[in-house]
Amino acid sequence: MASTSDIRKGLCIKYNHDIFKIIEFLHVKPGKGPAFVRTKLRSVTTGKVIDNTFSAGHKIDDVRVETRSYQYLYPEGDTYHFMNTDDYNQITLQKGTLDAPDLLKEGEVVKVLFNTEDSMPLSVEMPASVILEVTESEPGVKGNTATNATKPAVVETGARINVPLFINEGDKIKIDTDKGAYLERVKE
């Protein structure tokens, strides 16, 4: 048993007869009344996201998890195939268990969280950032750089990202997987 002071991003808890992963939280201490924790929870079975508020000191049922390295192989409809980098066993996961499936490149190594009680895969932790090549982008207009102007671009995985005007097709860019946002251009 844990309490609300143990809440952190990525923690898996049992709530309403399901297992949820905490994707956002905020400790709130109002001037009047008791403190509470506002959370955003994602169901690991359905992928549904709910908002919930826990009062301070509330007991939560945390789930013991184990992390294993897996290599992403290929997508097949709404399922994604992964291979364990230690024993080469393969698993398939639903799209809902992935945080950013549109930024997942074939061959990428990710961490898969497993429930230690029944060895059931709970969720996939992406690396903090990925490097992808821009496949489609409109040319930037010279003189449009007075502000931080951006334009839409499509990367090799099919994801749409807003990038600065100086990014062209064929450039490699670093993308923050948490926000799905452009970080920097990568020089080779």
**Contact status, residue 72 vs residue 82, Cβ threshold 8 Å:** yes
Residue 177 CB contacts under 8 Å (≥ 6 apart), including other chains:
99, 100, 103, 126, 127, 128, 129, 130
Looking at this protein, which amino acid is placed at residue 70? Y
**Contact status, residue 37 vs residue 7, Cβ threshold 8 Å:** yes
What's the token pair of residue 102?
């549109």
Does 91 have pLDDT greater than 80? yes
Which range among 54-58, 80-84, 109-113 has the greatest average pLDDT? 80-84
- The distance from CA 60 to its chain's CA centroid, rounded to whole angstroms, is 23
Q: Round to whole Å and give the CA distance between 35 and 54.
A: 9
CA distances from 80 to 33, 102, 133 (A): 46, 11, 21
pTM beyond cutoff 0.75: no
How confident is the model at residue 143, as a pLDDT? 63
How confident is the model at residue 174, as a pLDDT? 93
What's the token pair of residue 174?
């670093």
Q: pLDDT grade, residue 179 (50/70/90)?
A: confident
How confident is the model at residue 149, as a pLDDT? 79
Q: Round to whole Å and give the CA distance between 63 and 58.
A: 16
Q: What are phi and psi of 52, to 5 degrees?
A: -145, 150
| Residues 107-131: tens digit of each pLDDT | 889 988 888 888 888 778 888 889 9
